[in-house]
Amino acid sequence: MALRHLVIVLGDQLDASASALDGFDPAQDCVWMCESADESARTWSSKQRIAVFLAAMRHFAQTLRARAWPVEYLELSDHSLDQALVQSIARLQPAALVVTEPGEWGVRERLTQVNRQTGIALDVRIDRHFLCTVDEFARHAKGRKQLRMEYFYREMRRRHQVLMESDPQAADGYSPSGGQWNFDADNRESFGADGPTKVPARSRFEPDTITRSVLALVRERFADHPGSLDEFAWPLTREQALQTLDDFIRQRLPEFGCWQDAMWAGEAWLYHSHLSLALNLKLLSPLEVIRAAEQAWRDGQAPLAGVEGFVRQILGWREYVRGIYWLNMPDYLYANALAADQALPHWFWTGQTEMACLRDAITQSLNLGYAHHIQRLMVTGLFALLYGVRPSEVHAWYLSVYVDAVEWVELPNTLGMSQYADGGLMASKPYAATGKYIERMSNYCKKCPYSPAKRVGPKACPFTTLYWDFLLRHESRLASNPRMALQVKNLARITDSERDQIRAQAQSLRAVQSEQR
């Protein structure tokens, strides 16, 4: 019998209810999945990230086969995704290709090229996983002089009736739960001298036969790639993802809000959800996660401030960054508004640095494939911003080391929010701070040879030195930014002699890193 549809399932589309599978007929259709070594080399992926995608894909293929669905599964080969697909088309002779819209611009382009090369029809279907389509976001953005997540987030709350209450006085009949849209001010506490207490254990899933075979393969085939597999215990199936969600709602969500920005040396997991991987692989839907958190508040199991903060990360930021990505690709890849020109320090691949905060965050990232959002934004990302690392290299590092990194979400968060490389499209200001921020939000500085209060001298914190150098280098640009005006005004209190010292010490820091490459 002739093959009607070859249904392409990509590595981050492991959703049995995905649009590409609508109307699937096992009598005349076939699922096509491909492991490509080219993808792991094109993005110099860490061992954790490679293993996550391969193991999750193999488990998903097993799920489909259990339905008695035919699956054409190509295990690891040196062929690129598009080369492998062309070969499969020649062999299987499908009438058409079907795929849910890819999450990466480059993958979409390669599939389009296959369509042109083979002449086989390509049916690209909308990704229902997201709560705002690419076209809907484009309509939101059209005609606006500035895009700001907060206004988009409010639209999404209204559209999906999340944390909303009936209100006859409101124009649309609804107002936000608790009388305000944003509870950020209640969600910025640090742990204090005693540190976190009663932190629930991470949800761990011991590798089964499939996963163990993948781990062995990765250790052998990708031995020279960064990172470690010693602590590999990620959720890789729908059932494991649901258990991780349940564990978070019951054990961590009640404490999440207060401590979501706090850091503590040696404590990787804290009260965060650890759900981004499952969400980005499409093992969970964002709406089911949001509804579970909302129900916990309505049941009195978690405070509104924390639930709202969590919901904003998914319904606000996650949907927003996807919209920004597709609105601006492919040019967004090359954004460098601050003309950053430094190479990424070599120790980003080893964690071997005297700076305690960076040593902890980078070592953790390499060992676990994970760091929470403040470690990414205000430790590794902040250093790269102040140091002046080329945004493309920062992007490549984040895409490499984190298991939840898929380009649509990682690129805007890195180039836009973290590095301000888009000049303010994503974020309204650069997230620039001295080492005092890290001291306030963690205990890192107690174990560090540098002082965050000092900007010059042998004990000066590199973050603090580079912060003042950053303001000096970009003074004219930042002075016109209302959210940076106060920080720039502080430069007036620095003498010409101190300015010279700051510049000299910043130059010396960069020279040392350059010599060590």
Lowest mean pLDDT among 45-59, 72-86, 258-272: 72-86
Tell me which of 180 and 78 has the higher pLDDT.
180
Q: How crowded is residue 353: how many other Cβ atoms within 10 Å of its Cβ?
A: 18
Q: What is the pLDDT of residue 77?
A: 82
SS3 for 312-342 is HHHHHHHHHHHHHHHHHCCHHHHCCCCCCCE
What average pLDDT does the segment 317-335 reach?
97
Q: What is the pLDDT of residue 96?
A: 98
Is residue 269 predicted with pLDDT exceeding 60? yes
Q: What is the pLDDT of residue 253?
A: 97
Residue 439: name the closest of 411, 467, 420 by CA.
Answer: 467
Residue 22 C-alpha from the chain's centroid:
28
Is residue 265 predicted with pLDDT exceeding 80? yes
Cis amide prior to 412 (ω within 30 degrees): no
Contact 360, 444 (CB under 8 A): yes
pLDDT class of 188 with cuts at 50, 70, 90: confident
Residue the block writes with tokens 């984040």: 398
Q: What is the pLDDT of residue 517?
A: 52
State how far the Cα of 478 lies from the Cα of 460, in Å rounded to an integer.
24
Is residue 1 predicted with pLDDT exceeding 70? no
What average pLDDT does the segment 453-470 reach?
97
Q: What is the pLDDT of residue 514?
A: 60
Is residue 515 predicted with pLDDT exceeding 70? no
Q: What is the pLDDT of residue 187?
A: 86
Q: What is the pLDDT of residue 175?
A: 95
* pLDDT > 70: percent of the chain: 98
Q: What is the pLDDT of residue 173?
A: 87
Task: From residue 106, give the alpha-carbon distance in Å to each of 109, 159, 220, 326, 408.
Answer: 5, 31, 28, 11, 11
What average pLDDT does the segment 138-145 reach?
92
**How does the average pLDDT of the chain come out, rounded?**
95
Is residue 254 predicted with pLDDT exceeding 80? yes
Q: What secondary structure letter does DSSP report for 123? A: E
Contact 52, 403 (CB under 8 A): yes
Lowest mean pLDDT among 245-259, 395-409, 457-471, 482-496: 482-496
Classify the phi-psi angles of 508: left when phi > 0, otherwise alpha if psi is within -120 to 50, otherwise beta: alpha
What average pLDDT does the segment 207-232 reach?
96
Q: What is the pLDDT of residue 217?
A: 97
Q: What is the pLDDT of residue 358?
A: 98
State how far the Cα of 192 lies from the Cα of 503, in Å rounded to an integer.
34
Lowest mean pLDDT among 12-21, 207-216, 278-287, 479-488: 479-488
- In single-letter form, the type of residue at position 178 comes to G
Give the side-chain half-sphere CA count within 13 A for 157. 25
State how far the Cα of 6 lies from the Cα of 23, in Å rounded to an integer.
12
What average pLDDT does the segment 132-137 reach?
97
What is the pTM for the complete model shown?
0.95
State how far the Cα of 198 lies from the Cα of 271, in Å rounded to an integer.
10
State how far the Cα of 244 lies from the Cα of 293, in Å rounded to an integer.
13
Q: What is the pLDDT of residue 516?
A: 53
Is residue 341 predicted with pLDDT exceeding 70? yes
pLDDT class of 297 with cuts at 50, 70, 90: very high
Counting every residue written for the chain, the total comes to 517
Is residue 432 predicted with pLDDT exceeding 80? yes
